A = this chain, B = another copy of it.
């Protein structure tokens, strides 16, 4: 295997490497975890940068900057394993296998610095390959192929889809939508998807959104689009930032098709609330404390403590409203005593919101949520 890998990155491998690449991928797929880890360690060490070569080529480039010296520096400064991954990708269908390979690496290499460094190479290439400009936004409907839909069921990470009937209720009605990003080389694999409810006003309970007996709304009568679930599908694409644009893109597209839509909000969980509180106080106080948590609880780096908050604020959204008793499922009660939060996507403000958040970690919120949070400070627990 190691010889194969070396041959593939050699000069001759550039044009005749398809068979070798296929062989490597096939063997990889058949490996157990120990063998995979062995391979990763090999890539991380034997195919790493050679510091002296980097230094020498850098010196040569500085002394005499030219196409030749720059090319030599580029070659030295990039570890061979990046070229290996690119050449493996020549095989039709390889992209998905490589994404799976990174998922394995993340699982097996979590605590190993050399493997973490190797992961940065995967991540660097994937950021380039899964660039927003290469992705395709596709609606997911009840007319979508079943083999895609079964993946939606499997990948839904926020509010479990129980059955095909449950899926049908989220896709088939005219006031329900779903959109996913796909990559052309992985046409059967959604990368990330968002589920949307078109409503009259902002709903205050996820159970009302998902109810089997709710009354449908004519899409033209809706004034609000609620992003009530957003799920990443590929562990091997962790930290690749294409998710940032999904909600904004969907909001922009929907506002063209349905000009009656004026409000774009989420209905989001607050996964870290109970851990922060440690124990739940009386139910009446929960919204106040949730507002306080969302606005004031921070990580050491100054960003919000809650990962969902970081995601939406990083996209330019604002904390818009806190909803008590909004998720009565076991999971909802356990993580946030049933409290949920809506983040607002105001397309006219996301750019400047994002800027303020990115530069000063500012948590932008509505006056209502600010006053809720303010109560927490004056009224002791």
Contacts and interface: CB of A to CB of B under 8 A. Distances in A.
Interface of A: 11-12, 14-16, 18-19, 49, 51, 54-55, 58, 61-62, 65-67, 70-71, 73-74, 77-78, 86, 89-95, 113-114, 116-117, 119-120, 124-125, 127-129, 131-134, 136, 142-147, 149-150, 164, 168, 172, 184-185, 241, 244-245, 314-316, 350-351, 354-355, 358-359
For the complex of A and B, list the 10 residue pairs with the smallest distance between their C-beta atoms, beginning with the closest: A184-B184, A67-B116, A77-B77, A70-B117, A12-B358, A90-B132, A15-B244, A89-B133, A16-B354, A143-B145
B16 A355 contact: yes
A287 B308 CA distance: 67
A107 to B, nearest CB: 16
Contact of A351 (B16, B78, B128): B16
A134 B187 CA distance: 12
DSSP majority for the A interface?
helix
A54 B77 contact: yes
Contacts of A18: 132, 245
Nearest to A129: B128
B15 A315 contact: yes
Contact of A95 (B78, B114, B133, B354): B133
Nearest to A82: B128
Nearest to A127: B86
Nearest to A61: B51
7 contacts: A12-B359, A54-B54, A54-B58, A89-B132, A90-B132, A146-B146, A184-B185
Nearest to A116: B67
Nearest to A164: B164
- Most chain B CB atoms below 10 A, which of A51, A117, A172, A185: A117
Contacts of A19: 351
A92 B133 CA distance: 5
A129 B95 CA distance: 12
Contact of A74 (B95, B120, B132, B241): B120
Nearest to A184: B184
A144 B147 CA distance: 8
A16 B132 CA distance: 12
A29 to B, nearest CB: 16
A117 B61 CA distance: 11
A1 B359 CA distance: 22
A220 to B, nearest CB: 15
Given A15-B244, A241-B14, A120 B71 contact: yes
